[in-house]
Amino acid sequence: MRLFSLPRWLAPLDRKLLRDLFAMRGQALAIAFVIAGGVSVHLVAAGLLSSLEETRRAYYERYRFADLWAPLVRAPNGLIDEIRRIEGVQAAETRVRVQALFDMPGMEEPATGEVFSLPDGAEPSVNQIVLLRGRLPQSGRRDEAVVLESFANAHGLDIGDTVDATIYGGRERITIVGIALSPEHVYAIAPGQLVPDDRLFGVLWMSRSALAEAVNQDGAFNEAVVRLGYGANEAAVRNALDALLEPYGAPGAYGRDEHISDAFISSEIDQLRTMGSVLPPIFLAVAAFLVNVVISRLVATERTEIGLMKAFGYTDAAVVAHYLKAVGIIGVVGLAIGATLGIRLGQLLASVYTEYYRFPLFVFQPNARGLVVVTAITAVAVGGGAAFAVRRAATIAPAEAMRPPPPPDYSKALGARVTSLPFLDQQTRMILRQIVRFPLRAAFTSIGVAVSGALLIGTLFALDAIEEMIDVYFNVANRYDVQVSFVEPRSRSAYFELLSAPGVLGGEPYRAVPVKLRHRHLEEQMRLMGVPVDSRLARMIDVEGRPVELRPGGIVLSQDIAEKLAVTTGETLTVAVTEGRRPVLDVPVAAVAMTYIGSGAYMPIDDVNALLREGPVVSGANLLVDSARTNALYAELKAQPAVAGVVLQRAAQRNFTDLMDQNLGMAIWVYTIFAGLIAIGVVYNSVRISFSERQRELASLRVLGFSRREVSYILLGEIAFLTLLALPIGGLLGTGLAWSLSRAMSSELFRVPFVIDPPTYGYAALVVIVVTAVSGLLVRRQLDRMELVAVLKSAD
Amino acid sequence: MPRRRGAGAPRVCYIGAHAIEARRRPRAGAARGSLRADPPDENLCFKTEGLTKVYGSGPSAVHALRGVDLAIPERELVVLLGASGSGKSTLLNILGGLDRPTSGRLLFRGQDLTNASQRELTLYRRRHVGFVFQFYNLMPSLTARENVALVTEIADDPIPPEEALALVGLEHRLDHFPSQLSGGEQQRVAIARAIAKRPSVLLCDEPTGALDSATGVRVLEALQNVNETMHATTLLITHNASVADIAHRVITFSDGHVREERLNAVRKRPSELSW
Ligand SMILES: Nc1ncnc2c1ncn2[C@@H]1O[C@H](COP(=O)(O)OP(=O)(O)O)[C@@H](O)[C@H]1O
Ligand SMILES: [Mg+2]
């Protein structure tokens, strides 16, 4: 075929090279696409990773994001000097920070959020905000605030608009004077939520003096934020801070790893790193294998040409270079496709990111180092794959090469017994003999196909896992519809009042208290939840998915906390309350539970009340709500000054499910395409090579009167057999991949359960089978067009 | 793949709209040796009228056959001679249903094959034609016996593979793979494979071309044996003019035409040939 004429200056060998490549363009492209798959995944992951890390670093640096947060009850402003004197503290700020409930026009549900103070007449030296529009609130003005951009956009708020908020029990009408972003709210999410809901989470910044006055913190603060000096010891600073602030009701400082927004970014970064390091090697290993197979075949078919070239005086090195050039071209094409695809995909994903991660500016920067690295790795993989094949070209002796090769010897193949079984027909026997004669090739083909299926299972399992997480979290563990928290702990009667609110079908009280759990030298800071012993609405679940029964006198821990503290069921740990009179108690661990999302420590509410030496006091309540009457309840909650926060479980679940639905289709497509690339690369090349090697046999069969169907059986039966063999192998590999990815993707925030639903296996098998069938049919078309006479006439 | 051993199936071959009774044994009376220069049509195996074959088109077109009229009676052993490129293989391939003529007519036992479909040609090859080529075209992954069984499994009334191999003197090589056989042995396996289904025509394109003379003689003996005992109409292309002495009929090709057609009054045995 002559689609283009080659320029005259091209050396004859190079012309041959280009014609060879053109003749095997299908196979060459299949390999190039597998390479492109690996390259693009790496570039997307590396690019997003470095973009995200670099953007975050620059943002935090420029706006002086804190390293430590030290919440407390109330401390005098003068303490700031002592905080600044702690060794390792580079800058420190005090501020007032309170929860708030927003009553937004046109929205039935109450929105929750926080209000932060901004220093009067000065920029804070820690945790600055990015004022996008408008101005800062004037000092002392209780009716002015800057609002978080995402909340403003979700409600169409603009400068001059007003917002009604319940702040620390007091109702305020606030005018928006500015719109801002903040490094503390890159991933703007309410506590207890998993997916941001811009409508339901608001943040305001008010003048320090005005906010202090509103929440009874005149001349005082309730949170210190600290930036560390270069090389400072974070733990030491934290200990010094805790020691200094403990008298003021501080439960203990926490770092960025427990800062919700930053923890989400870190978790994303970890996942990108995992993806970027697990997937590309799979692609490139497959590409190396394919290069080996295809170039081996090319060298075998061109034996005579190689002999001639050598006879004409070309050196071995020239011959080797000739074939390496072919491989090089495939590699470069793969790289080019992969780079283009990777950058496009990266930009696409970056724009998805900006919906969830609010940076002042986030653009996808293709990672130059990533490109260099992936180019080098591709070169090594593809070159390595080619090396073995090309070495054969070097060792061919000219005289020997010019004789036609003897028929391949099947007499010494393994498994002669099996393939000689009398009930086999001859065609099936040919298939089996081909496999046992070239077992390595058959194994690689099977494994290649298996890898493609495994890739699908190993990635799409995440959807099953997330479904399981949602189901367990919302439908088994936390079955309440609404969680209400009070501004301050209140008596049981406040809980009963809530029960009689409109629409409430039932409920359970809870008492939450900040604690430090200690076991030996290990310590974890967290919130201890006291719930009724027979709680039905807020439960912990064990590994078998059954609710863990609370027992008086014992604490139930989530597995991650138990692991961090190195305690097991039956051992005793120390519960040190970091609030009020700070009681300390040794408590046996009653059970260790599984939690997919977040961590937890549960005790019976009566035990918590007893521990705190208080009466039947509650921090809030979990409520079951009549879904037809939610609006009435919401109206009631918005009007209650005692209510500090409201968690709407149904909205949270809906947001999670929406997010899944949005990204589900895309994820399935992307991974199906990637897995398909591998399967096509392996199957098409395998069948195509088999076809060219056995063309003569197949033509002979046609001459003997076998129909096209019967002849394709021999060609396609082999790959069908190897694909069937690949299915269980792929299932196993995929299960392993899913297991290790579930490990790798689990973080502080959530643990990915190792769950694979049967349909995921089915889907993977289906994709593999369809791809095999399509690749087979492509070659079958060539088989149908085969010129019998021409094939048989050639001496080869 | 289902095995096809249905020996009871009626031997009817559907070609076009017509059904041909697969006549393995020509009618009694058409005895060997009773050759006539112009046999009646009903005793013909092949008849061609103005057969042409053009490869390619325009200025680069190759006229491989330029109008061939032949009448080949049943059961004859016919040798085709002619310079390289004169069109012998092209004719043989068309007769064997591997290729189609550009124009003209081809009759097989009175049935018109000229416009037969691919599927019909496949069936025709399967039921009636045995091929032997210069290159043996054996399946390297199958033993001698299995190579023959390949064909007997899809034939209606085959002879057992062992018997077919015995006919070509290979009864002691049944379980050898092609890689373990000499060229002559491989060629004889190919012949056994071609005859095992009791073909009514045997088409051989330079079967001895790659063999030394002693081996070539054995192969020719096998072919002659098949022609005599199984009564298959046999067409044999050769470069060796002396081989023509074993034929009933000798057709000489030149530039796509039949230049000469003669009958041998006296035939030699292959062993009597001066190679
Ligand atoms: N598939 C083909 N395409 C083009 N030309 C062909 C093809 N097959 C044969 N020819 C040409 O047809 C002519 C006759 O070929 P062939 O029948 O093989 O001759 P012979 O067998 O007598 O040597 C030759 O010129 C040959 O080059
Ligand atoms: Mg020829």
The verdict on the CB of residue A790 being under 6 Å from ligand 1 is yes
Q: Does A543 touch chain B (CB under 8 A)?
A: no
Q: How many independent structural domains does chain B possess?
A: 1
pLDDT per position as a tens digit, A82-118 = 999 999 999 999 999 999 999 998 888 889 999 999 9
Contact A426 B150 (CB under 8 A): yes
Q: Does A317 touch chain B (CB under 8 A)?
A: no
Looking at per-residue pLDDT, the higher value among B2 and A5 belongs to A5
pLDDT for position A8: 66
pLDDT for position A449: 92
Which string of DSSP letters, residue by residue, matches A613-658? Answer: T-SSEEEEEEEEE-GGGHHHHHHHHHH-TTEEEEEEHHHHHHHHHH
* Predicted ipTM of the assembly: 0.79
CA dist., res. A127 & res. A91, Å (int): 10
In this structure, the number of other CB atoms found within 10 A of the CB of residue A790 comes to 9
Query: CB-based contacts of B163: which residues, under 8 Å, 6+ apart?
Result: none
Contact A703 B99 (CB under 8 A): no
| Cβ burial B132-166 (10 Å sphere, 16+ → b, else e) | bbbbbbbbbbbbbbbbbbbbbbbbbebbebbebbe
pLDDT per position as a tens digit, A239-289 = 999 999 999 989 999 999 989 899 889 988 888 888 888 888 888 888 888
Contact A704 B142 (CB under 8 A): no
Residue B173: phi and psi, rounded to 5, are -120, 20
CA dist., res. B171 & res. B195, Å (int): 15
Q: Give the mean pLDDT of B71-90.
A: 94
Which string of DSSP letters, residue by residue, matches A171-219? Answer: EEEEEEEEEEE-GGGSS---TT-SS--TTTEEEEEEEHHHHHHHTT-TT
Residue B61 falls inside a structural domain: no
B155's enclosing H/E stretch is none
Q: Which of A51, A192, A197 is nearest to A750 (CA)?
A: A192
Specify which residues B82 forms β-bridges with: B253
Amino acid at B27: R
Specify which residues A192 forms β-bridges with: none
Residue B58 falls inside a structural domain: no
pLDDT for position A668: 80
pLDDT for position A71: 95
CA dist., res. A74 & res. A67, Å (int): 21
pLDDT per position as a tens digit, A471-490 = 888 888 889 999 999 988 99
How does residue B67 score in pLDDT terms, banded at 50, 70 and 90?
A: very high
Q: Which of A439, A404, A390 is nearest to A718 (CA)?
A: A439
CA dist., res. A719 & res. A740, Å (int): 30
How does residue A413 score in pLDDT terms, banded at 50, 70 and 90?
A: low
pLDDT for position A5: 61
Q: Does A375 touch chain B (CB under 8 A)?
A: no
Q: Which of B156, B120, B157, B155 is nearest to B18 (CA)?
A: B120
pLDDT for position A403: 66
Residue A195 has pLDDT above 50, yes or no: yes
Angle at A305 between CA A302 and CA A311, to 5 degrees: 140
Distances (CA, A) of B219 to A406, A441, B222: 21, 38, 5
Residue B10 falls inside a structural domain: no
Contact A702 B154 (CB under 8 A): no
8-state DSSP, A279: H
| Strand pairing report for A522-531 and A601-604 | parallel
Q: Which domain holds residue B251?
A: 73-102+111-272
Residue A26 has pLDDT above 90, yes or no: no
CA dist., res. A509 & res. A507, Å (int): 7
Work out the end-to-end distance of chain A between its first and last CA atoms, rounded to an integer number of angstroms.
21
Contact A64, A126 (CB under 8 A): yes
A410 to chain B: nearest residue by CA? B141
Contact B162, B235 (CB under 8 A): no
How does residue A691 score in pLDDT terms, banded at 50, 70 and 90?
A: confident
pLDDT for position B22: 36
pLDDT per position as a tens digit, B143-186 = 999 999 998 988 888 999 999 998 888 999 999 999 899 888 99
Residue B11 has pLDDT above 60, yes or no: no
A313's enclosing H/E stretch is none
Q: Give the tokens for residue B217.
A: 């003689």
Which of A5-19, A456-470, B208-222 is least confident?
A: A5-19
pLDDT per position as a tens digit, A385-410 = 888 888 877 887 777 766 666 677 88
Q: Give the tokens for residue A351.
A: 């724009």
Distances (CA, A) of A403 to A81, A193, A304: 93, 74, 7
From the CA of B91, give the closest atom in ligand 1. Answer: 17
Q: Closest residue (by CA) to atom 4 of ligand 1?
A: B55
How does residue A565 score in pLDDT terms, banded at 50, 70 and 90?
A: very high
Grouping H, G, I as helix, E, B as strand and the rest as coil, residue A72 is strand
B202 to chain A: nearest residue by CA? A704
CA dist., res. A683 & res. A770, Å (int): 11
Residue B222 has pLDDT above 90, yes or no: no
pLDDT per position as a tens digit, A753-792 = 899 999 999 999 999 999 999 988 888 888 888 877 777 7
Q: Give the tokens for residue B266.
A: 């006296």
Residue B133 has pLDDT above 50, yes or no: yes
On chain B, the residues whose CB falls within 8 A of the CB of A433 are 141-142
Contact B135 A788 (CB under 8 A): no
Residue A796 has pLDDT above 60, yes or no: no
Looking at per-residue pLDDT, the higher value among B14 and A221 belongs to A221
Residue B223 falls inside a structural domain: yes
Q: How far is CA A382 from the centre of its chain?
A: 29
pLDDT per position as a tens digit, A585-608 = 999 999 999 888 888 899 999 999
Give chain B's mean pLDDT: 83
pLDDT for position B32: 39
CA dist., res. B64 & res. B67, Å (int): 10
The verdict on the CB of residue B62 being under 6 Å from ligand 1 is yes
pLDDT for position B14: 38
In this structure, the number of other CB atoms found within 10 A of the CB of residue A209 comes to 19
How does residue B29 score in pLDDT terms, banded at 50, 70 and 90?
A: very low
Residue B21 has pLDDT above 60, yes or no: no
Q: Which of A276, A196, A193 is nearest to A744 (CA)?
A: A276
Q: Tokens 């503390």 sit at which residue?
A: A184
Residue B53 falls inside a structural domain: no
How does residue A190 score in pLDDT terms, banded at 50, 70 and 90?
A: confident
| Cβ burial A165-188 (10 Å sphere, 16+ → b, else e) | bbbbbeebebebbbbbbbbbbbbb
Ligand nearest to the CA of B52: 1
Angle at A370 between CA A364 and CA A376, to 5 degrees: 150
Q: Does A406 touch chain B (CB under 8 A)?
A: yes
pLDDT for position A794: 62
Q: Give the tokens for residue B172.
A: 């002691």
Residue B43 falls inside a structural domain: no
Task: Please state, for a pLDDT cut of 70, what percent of chain A lies above it.
Answer: 97
pLDDT for position B36: 42
Burial of B2 per CB tally in 10 Å (0-12, 13-18, 19+): exposed
Q: Is the dihedral of CA B161, B163, B168, B172 positive or negative?
A: positive
Q: Which of A434, A696, A707 sits opposite B141 (nearest CB)?
A: A434
Burial of A762 per CB tally in 10 Å (0-12, 13-18, 19+): exposed
CA dist., res. A346 & res. A342, Å (int): 6
Residue B19 has pLDDT above 70, yes or no: no
A693's enclosing H/E stretch is helix A649-703
Residue B7 has pLDDT above 70, yes or no: no
Residue B22 falls inside a structural domain: no
Query: CB-based contacts of A743: which residues, under 8 Å, 6+ apart?
Result: none
Contact B229, B164 (CB under 8 A): no
pLDDT for position B24: 37
pLDDT for position A641: 83
Which string of DSSP letters, residue by residue, matches A344-404? Answer: HHHHHHHHHHHHHS--S-------HHHHHHHHHHHHHHHHHHHHHHHHHHHH--HHHHTSP
Give chain A's mean pLDDT: 88
pLDDT per position as a tens digit, A196-234 = 889 999 999 999 999 999 999 999 999 999 999 999 999
Contact B104, B48 (CB under 8 A): yes
Q: Tokens 């014992």 sit at which residue?
A: A554
Work out the end-to-end distance of chain B between its first and last CA atoms, rounded to an integer number of angstroms.
45
pLDDT per position as a tens digit, A498-538 = 999 999 999 999 999 999 999 999 999 889 999 999 888 98
Instruction: Find the CATH number of the domain harbouring B187.
Output: 3.40.50.300
Looking at per-residue pLDDT, the higher value among A383 and B39 belongs to A383
Q: Closest residue (by CA) to atom 26 of ligand 1?
A: B85
Residue B12 has pLDDT above 50, yes or no: no
In this structure, the number of other CB atoms found within 10 A of the CB of residue A236 comes to 13
pLDDT for position A415: 67
Ligand nearest to the CA of B85: 1
Q: Which of A181, A170, A211, A198 is nearest to A109 (CA)?
A: A198
Residue B204 falls inside a structural domain: yes
CA dist., res. A638 & res. A641, Å (int): 8
